[in-house]
Amino acid sequence: MQVFVSHYDSPHGEIIMSSDGEALTGLWLEGQRYFPQTLSSTGLVRILPIFGQACLWLERYFHGENPGECPTLHLSGTPFQLSVWEMLRLIPYGETATYGEIAKQIAAKSGRQYVSARAVGGAVARNPISLMIPCHRVIGAGGDLTGYAGGLDRKRKLLMLEKALPFQGDKC
């Protein structure tokens, strides 16, 4: 499969996008953990309609607007990761959810008695399409900002942009 890449300069650093030519397959903030290191050396830089759509979405997002539905995505992951990422997509703009809440929703949806919040956290951390699959909207049970592959400072700024911080004071 051929991989195409494009770049977007955001207020929070460079964003690298990847595509299979039809849909977005990745979107990473500069310096983000779990960035595929081989992408920048193997991807072909090309202007594609999907990158234009992604840039428009990002423009609206970084102007503090609800950007609406994201462009077409092709996700690759384990069945568990895909289920977690689907749950992330259901968190509305300007709102947050906890790892535990997501674990309970996945357990109920799959008919399991229990799903670990820690396992959810592992899948959230490996989200290949930051912002559009809003892993930054997931917080700790006590409202703490925890675990964001793009860095906690960025997570705080993204939640502030969305006016989604559910707490005040020292917890941010």
| Residues classed as catalytic | 135
| Selection from 147, 171, 164 nearest residue 96 by Cα | 164
Give, for 138, the enclosing helix (H) or strand (E).
strand 138-139
The span from the CA of 124 to the CA of 34, in Å, is 11
Angle, helix 99-110 to helix 117-125, in steps of 10 degrees: 100
Q: By 3-state DSSP, what share of the chain in percent is helix, strand and coil, each rounded to 5? A: 40, 15, 45
The span from the CA of 127 to the CA of 73, in Å, is 12
The span from the CA of 68 to the CA of 123, in Å, is 24
